[in-house]
Amino acid sequence: KAGVTQTPRYLIKTRGQQVTLSCSPISGHRSVSWYQQTPGQGLQFLFEYFSETQRNKGNFPGRFSGRQFSNSRSEMNVSTLELGDSALYLCASSSPDRATNEKLFFGSGTQLSVL
């Protein structure tokens, strides 16, 4: 079974641009969440999607948005990029099985650099 796949692995953008990151969860997983990891702030929750609906959101500005498609794949968009958006963006998915749904499976992340 393939793991959580995030694309692209690396991305370089300039201030003011926008970016879209993609996440394909493990087959059968319907919950997908996104995290931002920076040396200064650590790992911070961005948002969570379940069956195409956002069911939790972290404390990030509206420039950060996401969506989930019917096949559970998710995208995250950041508009009007700022230098402080440079980070590793991690996506995670979990199984709908109650016995194991607490276990998050993470992708390798997208390293975003804003110049």
Partner 1 sequence: AQKITQTQPGMFVQEKEAVTLDCTYDTSDPSYGLFWYKQPSSGEMIFLIYQGSYDQQNATEGRYSLNFQKARKSANLVISASQLGDSAMYFCAMREGWRGYQKVTFGTGTKLQVIP
The answer to whether 45 touches 35, Cβ cutoff 8 Å, is: yes
In angstroms, what is the minimal distance from the CB of 73 to partner 1? 16
Stretch (H or E) spanning 36: strand 31-38
Quick one: which of 24, 64, 76, 107 contacts partner 1 (CB under 8 A)?
107
Q: How far is the CB of 59 from partner 1 (least distance, A)?
A: 11
- Secondary structure of residue 63 in the 3-state scheme: coil
Q: Does 60 bind partner 1 (CB under 8 A)?
A: no
> What DSSP designation does 80 have?
S
Angle at 2 between CA 92 and CA 51, to 5 degrees: 45
Is residue 84 helix, strand or coil?
Answer: helix
Q: Judged by CB under 8 A, which of 24, 72, 94, 114 binds partner 1?
A: 94
Verify binding: residue 56, partner 1, rule CB under 8 A. yes
Rule CB under 8 A: say whether 108 interacts with partner 1. Answer: yes
The contact set with partner 1 (CB under 8 A) reads 31-33, 35, 42-45, 48, 55-56, 58, 88, 90, 92, 94, 98, 101-109, 111
